[in-house]
């Protein structure tokens, strides 16, 4: 029984989706002078769009979700608020996915107010339509049921987070784990397989963190 709806996205799919997105933008007639990647998720799609749309100018803005300590509410903030002049430029703001849409809305607001481009449009690979507060001007895939997309550029971070969550829960009733058992449980919880290198690296990081300790060929969960 899968506990978290997750879909593994390959590098090949990212290239294919970016190519498809570029075609949609091109056929709309919009020709951006500059692409702005939303850090960090928008970096790879933005770079690929530069290639497929033959755009030379690539900038970035970091809009991030912060969880305030002891609060359930999260708010998005612009991390490095530098100033540039985009006066006269047609800009394209690029991100991987619109989930809640909050970080993108904030980035758009900041850019329009402070960088003042002539025009600003939003392009994302994916758009989770039932939960998103905004609809991007261009998107390649409309997602109708919420899923966590395990993108190739967050594979280690996600694997770490996924194993941490799983072992914190499962470790309450089972403290000792073989590597194979961790991997089987991971597949059961998330329904995906990230590959041996990622499991091993994530486990090393969780050992450094102190969540688990190595004991011979087993791992002990410290809960
Ligand atoms: P946005 O403001 O673009 O809707 P959020 O603020 O909800 O996005 O999330 C910020 C970033 O978190 C996204 O750009 C993406 O990198 C990551 N993210 C959010 N939701 C998902 C998801 N369902 N699958 C994979 N990554 C996600």
Give pTM, 2 decimals: 0.94
- pLDDT given for residue 71 in this prediction: 52
- pLDDT given for residue 76 in this prediction: 82
Ligand 1 centre and the CA of 107: distance in Å? 13
Residue bearing the CA closest to ligand 1, atom 4: 101
Q: How far apart are CA 75 and CA 87, in angstroms?
A: 29
- pLDDT given for residue 65 in this prediction: 77
**Residue 189, SS3 per DSSP:** helix
Q: How far apart are CA 35 and CA 122, in angstroms?
A: 10
Q: Pairing relation of β-strands 148-150 and 176-178?
A: unpaired
Can you tell me which residue has the tokens 């799609």?
Answer: 45
Choose which residue among 45, 97, 141, 192 to substitute to test ligand 1 binding: the one with the highest number of ligand atoms within 8 A of its C-beta: 97
User: How does DSSP classify residue 211?
Assistant: S
Binning pLDDT at 50, 70 and 90, where does residue 66 land? low
pLDDT digits (tens, 9 = 90+) for 109-155: 999 999 999 999 999 999 999 999 999 999 999 999 999 999 999 99
Which residues sit with their C-beta closer than 6 Å to ligand 1? 41, 65, 76, 95-104, 148-149
Q: How far apart are CA 12 and CA 18, in angstroms?
A: 10
| Residue 74 confidence (pLDDT) above 80 | no
| Domains of the chain and CATH, by start | 9-147 (3.40.50.2020), 152-221 (1.10.10.10)
Question: Rounded to 5 degrees, what are φ and ψ at 209?
Answer: -70, -25
In total, the chain counts a number of residues equal to 223
């Amino acid at each position: 029984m899968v506990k978290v709806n997750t879909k593994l996205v390959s590098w090949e799919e990212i290239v294919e989706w970016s190519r498809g997105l570029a075609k949609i933008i091109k056929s709309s007639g919009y020709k951006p002078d500059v692409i702005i990647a939303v850090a960090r998720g928008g970096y790879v799609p933005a770079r690929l769009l530069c290639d497929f749309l033959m755009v030379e100018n690539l900038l970035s803005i970091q809009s991030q979700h912060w969880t305030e300590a002891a609060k359930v509410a999260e708010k998005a903030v612009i991390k490095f608020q530098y100033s540039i002049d985009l006066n006269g430029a047609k800009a394209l703001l690029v991100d991987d996915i619109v989930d809640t849409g909050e970080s993108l809305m904030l980035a758009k607001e900041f850019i329009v107010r402070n960088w003042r481009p002539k025009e600003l449009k939003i392009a994302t690979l994916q758009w989770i339509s039932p939960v998103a507060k905004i609809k991007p001007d261009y998107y390649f895939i409309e997602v109708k049921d919420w899923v966590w997309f395990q993108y190739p550029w967050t594979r280690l971070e996600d694997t770490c987070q996924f194993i941490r969550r799983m072992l914190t829960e499962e470790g309450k009733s089972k403290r000792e784990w073989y590597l194979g058992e961790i991997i089987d449980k991971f597949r059961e919880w998330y329904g995906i397989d990230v590959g041996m290198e990622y499991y091993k690296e994530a486990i090393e990081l969780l050992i450094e963190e102190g969540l688990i300790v190595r004991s011979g060929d087993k791992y002990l969960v410290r809960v």
